[in-house]
Amino acid sequence: MNQRSLHPFAWWAWGVGIAVTASQSPGTPALVLLCISAAMVVYSKKSDQPWAKAFSIGVRLGLIAFLIRMIIGVTLSVPIPGNTLFTLPTLPLPDWMAGIRIGGPVTSERLSITAIEGLTFFTLILAIAAASALANPKQGLRALPGVMHQAGVALIISTTLIPHFVTSIQRVKQARRLRGDQQRIAFRKIAVPIFEDSLQRAINLGAAMESRGYGLHDSSTGRRFGSQILLSSIVAITIGITLFLAAIEGAAIAFALGTALLVIGLFVASKSTIRTRYRPQVWKGAEWIVLATSITLISVVLLENQSTLTTSAIFILAITPLFVAPKESGLKNVIGVAH
């Protein structure tokens, strides 16, 4: 019997919750605790599948983003008064760039602000990487609404390219070991064949799924009506964003209307597509708990009440999946969809 894993959408809700919380600048202690909680959950619940390596890649990308932000903040920024730590050579700029300075005095306040911004970028990248490492992309594609079947085929090719690439590298290394070839070989000599092989395997997977019932077979009338509702929802959400940015009343109403139309449009369009799923992913209590804690996490940080209690609550909510979510299964999941 296959071990049950958490619904991929629940993992993405958790990752988005951490990302939104980090974007609200909750403070350095909260950002550090968010990073620690993401690492604890990932290393406790991740599987041995190729996409589980996304977190380590995200850590590297986050560190690169942090270093780039620090370098830019020190060398190119708006002057911030304070305690001067050291002074860099100043590069003169034209008059139309007044207010921006390259080099000059570097204050402790300037370094502090830059470090917090860099840590925010690092946490955002880490949150998305954590969700990518825990959410099974194949199960996520199965859970997509039927109207998104064409986008699903494209997502299959894109999301399985890297796993196939890793598998191709392992196959090449194993073949060389079986031939007794122990010499190190430059990656550039095998990069093109490996990329070609992994891309071809990903395309073959998408074509195989489409030929087995993942393609288009629906009611054109229902699909057209659903598409019109979806277009209306996009217009309403766009109006809501415009009203929000312009600080005009009515943004919440437009957002609510757009969200409602989006749900209705997806429902109507999906009903026009006849699909059956083998062993569908069930949304159970653990998923509801993770979703509720993510919403609560965002609500806590939006209260703008910075205190030790708030920081502790952020950490406890962020590590909730550590106690309620099952460990991700290492078994390969069936992704076929048939009519």
**Tens digits of per-residue pLDDT, 45-96?**
887 777 777 788 889 889 999 999 888 888 877 777 777 777 777 777 677 6
* Cα maximum dimension of the chain: 72
Alpha-carbon distance of 178 to 302, in angstroms, equals 58
Strands 276-277 and 337-338, by their bridges, are antiparallel
What are the extents of the domains in the chain?
Answer: 8-145+283-333, 219-273
Q: What is the pLDDT of residue 332?
A: 47
Q: What is the pLDDT of residue 18?
A: 92
Q: What is the pLDDT of residue 339?
A: 37
Ranges in the chain, pLDDT < 50: 1, 331-339
Tokens standing for residue 278: 């083998």
Q: What is the pLDDT of residue 333?
A: 45
Residue 28: CB partners within 8 Å, gap ≥ 6?
Answer: 115, 116, 119
**Residue 84, CA distances (Å) to 11, 90, 104, 111 in order:** 44, 15, 10, 10
Q: What is the pLDDT of residue 7?
A: 82
Helix (H, G, I), strand (E, B) or coil at 273: strand
Helix (H, G, I), strand (E, B) or coil at 332: coil
Tell me the whole-structure pTM to 2 decimals.
0.69
Name the burial class of residue 247, with classes exposed (0-12), middle (13-18) and buried (19+) by CB atoms within 10 angstroms of its CB: exposed
Alpha-carbon distance of 232 to 37, in angstroms, equals 39
Question: Which 8-state DSSP code applies to residue 143?
Answer: T
Q: What is the pLDDT of residue 146?
A: 61
Nearest to 261 by CA among 221, 219, 223, 227: 227
Number of other residues whose CB lies within 10 A of the CB of residue 54: 22
